[in-house]
Amino acid sequence: MNRLERKDRLVRWALLVVAFSAVSILAVITVFMFEQGTPVMFKYGLKNFLAGSDWYPSEKSFGLWPMIVGSIYVTFGAMVIGVPFGLACAIVLTEFSSKRIRRVIKPMIELLAGIPSVVYGFMGVVILVPFIRQTFGGPGLSVLAASIILGIMILPTIISISVDSIQAIPPAYREGSIALGATKWQTVRMVLLPAARSGIIASIILGMGRAIGETMAVIMIAGNAVSVPRSILSPVRTLTSNIALEMGYAAGEHRQALFATGVILFIIIMVLNTVANVTSSRRNRVKG
């Protein structure tokens, strides 16, 4: 074995060690979270923990149902707002705008991802919450406010990845469609979007993970009421907000219940990602 081969093998092993280190850290965090959270879940009953509507840690009542529903409502609302706008913006930037405009706008959109979430929350409190209160009624701090803010926050992720996915499509796809007489919009709808489906779905999954895992902005504008929201104008508390608000003073079983909240959040994210990936794979097989 010569010197070059030894260096190549050394680099391979070093990269392998780094990769396994990252995976090992994630595994340790997951095991610790499950170890801390599952005992209290089984002690008081998994059904009572998941389906209970009362959250009174001082009385040993740990019902997560209002927060599970709140997280789903807020995330769904954010996706309803963020996905159409993000995908439309990606299509305009790649197919209906000049390279000069794209070089200016795309970096500006990517910079939005670096804005701290507390800034989005502050803008929501100052501008959005009073507008909702005066226009639609209610307290203003609501599912609607949280959904709008989170929908804006996930836009950079969806737009950036979708733009890269559409731009990665070979030019022959566009040229062949135009040559067959299709209009530009027909080319986008029938050729480019199906070809870039995997990247677009990946952007939606990442945006969904950002929305369901966001904490600070949601704490500021969602209202943090531990009750099942009856409308989009009702205040709500999410799973992440529950952890952030109470972990600072929690102890004993209360602390374990918050770790269990993290376990439920982890499972929900894994289920959503799995469903999205399975759906994408099934569509690709049908297409093939």
Tell me, what's the pLDDT at 150? 93
- Domain spans in the chain, listed from the N-terminal domain onward: 55-287
Q: Which of 29, 64, 59 is nearest to 45 (CA)?
A: 64
Question: Which CATH superfamily hosts domain 55-287?
Answer: MetI-like (1.10.3720.10)
The predicted model gives 46-53 an average pLDDT of 84
The predicted model gives 218-234 an average pLDDT of 89
Provide, rounded to the nearest whole percent, the portion of the chain with pLDDT above 90: 23
**87, 113, 215, 226 from 117: Cα distances, Å:** 22, 9, 8, 22
How many of the other CB atoms lie within 10 Å of CB of 141?
24
**14, 45, 146, 233 from 68: Cα distances, Å:** 42, 17, 15, 17
Per DSSP, 56 falls in state: E
Task: Encode pLDDT of 184-211 as tens digits.
Answer: 888 888 888 888 888 888 888 888 888 8
pLDDT over 50 at 275, yes or no: yes
Tell me, what's the pLDDT at 288? 52
User: Cβ contacts of residue 176 below 8 Å, gap of 6+?
Assistant: 191
Tell me, what's the pLDDT at 279? 62
At 263, which amino acid appears? V
Task: Encode pLDDT of 8-26 as tens digits.
Answer: 888 888 888 888 888 888 8
The predicted model gives 61-71 an average pLDDT of 89
d(CA 269, CA 259): 15
**209 CB-contact burial (10 Å; exposed 0-12 / middle 13-18 / buried 19+):** middle
pLDDT over 60 at 284, yes or no: no
pLDDT over 80 at 254, yes or no: yes
pLDDT over 70 at 287, yes or no: no
Q: Which of 283, 241, 232, 284 is nearest to 265 (CA)?
A: 241
Instruction: Kindly report the average pLDDT of the chain as a whole number.
Output: 86
Q: Give the pLDDT band of residue 283 (cuts 50, 70, 90).
A: low
**167-170: Cβ within 8 A, 24+ apart:** 167/94, 168/196, 168/199, 169/195, 169/196
Tell me, what's the pLDDT at 184? 87
Tell me, what's the pLDDT at 286? 43
Tokens matching residue 9 = 């093998």
pLDDT over 70 at 164, yes or no: yes
Q: How far is CA 30 from the centre of its chain?
A: 19
pTM over 0.75: yes
pLDDT over 90 at 131, yes or no: yes
Q: Give the pLDDT band of residue 83 (cuts 50, 70, 90).
A: very high
Q: Give the pLDDT band of residue 87 (cuts 50, 70, 90).
A: very high
